[in-house]
Structure 1
Amino acid sequence: MSSKNWSALDEVSVDKEMSERTIRIQGPRGASMVQVVGLLQELGIASEDVDALATGPPGSNAYDVVFKEKDKCDSFLKYFNKGARQYKDFDYEFSMFVRQIVTLKVYWLPVCTRPMVIHDIFSKFGKVVSIGNDTLQIGDFETLLGVRLFTLKVSVSEKAAIPHIVAFDCGAKAQVTMQGRPPLCLRCLELGNVRGACPCQKFS
């Protein structure tokens, strides 16, 4: 099966009126549509209040809820102050669809690289919310990794513009992954597969 890359989805591609009454629910690993519906019902949202539900790409754990009325959507988010809610021992975060929170990881940077480098690069693509390090745990051994873990608040077009590779004038490079985004193959530089399972390797 072949695929074709089209131009990035931006604000022109989105129904503005619909997007303004849409919220994004970011679920934990293992979240499902059934759980999201249960969460909505627990919060007093009935099927009569909702136009549509949609899921994000596999692994993103993101769910979009389109309200029938913008006022209902606004009051819902205002009540929760764009925060989180626990349901069946898992935390779910709420945000406006037009401005969403995305989680990214940056690989290959020297471990001593200052957080301000991450901030300066990615503040061009949205608002930097948090910057930290991923962790490693093997048995009783636990430590920080050089992999940077951070979150951005972005629009649809800003999210689409976030690069897979950041190149520096000194020749150094950093790989950027985003939760829910198809990976970049480091062998063929195509989206959707990884180096170990790249179709090109059978010909090399």
Structure 2
Amino acid sequence: MIDEFAKQYLHSELRRFREVMIWKLDGLGEYDIRRPLTATGTNLLGLVKHLSLWESRYFGEVFHRPFREPLPRWDDVEARGTDMWATEHEPREEIVGRYQRVWAHSDATITALDIDSPGHVPWWPRPEVMLFNVLVHMLTETSRHAGHADLLREQLDGSTGTAADYASQQRDADFREVQHAEIERAAIAAATKSDHDLTP
């Protein structure tokens, strides 16, 4: 009984964070969903593309249930890193649509298998796994990238939140400026105090 509860709970949380990833694109133009917002080039649409590729692998080939659409293999050295951004020839609808088809494929795998069903992850140091391990891993990976997406979206238009129903109302620029200044003041004060405490 606990096994079925654990499987349902992990699966439910995975579904929730998948939706967050798509929601983070809502209301943004092509440039904003693709533009690099960190020094390493992290961007919103690239995160969705990345998750679709890896989820298709984890709930596909790991359990001998390959996703039917062509995607680069995990050991394709030339394709490494291309899953983190979208070219101008890859429409948003194509990437989002593929992610949603991956969900359907993954959901079928999760539903069909027991939580202790064996799988093989050739890119892991200990490749023999169970569905439980993969569910936990993909939930962790998806929630981690949902956090990245939240920060990226905040940089773009100030909105935050994990779902449309719980979205934080955007504060006005004056409020944000005051809050930012207060946090900066506290950081400087703590650093100054720390430096003073270290002085003999």
* TM-score greater than 0.5 by the shorter chain: no
TM-score normalized by the length of structure 1? 0.26
Structure number, greater radius of gyration? 2
More strand by share: 1
More helix by share: 2
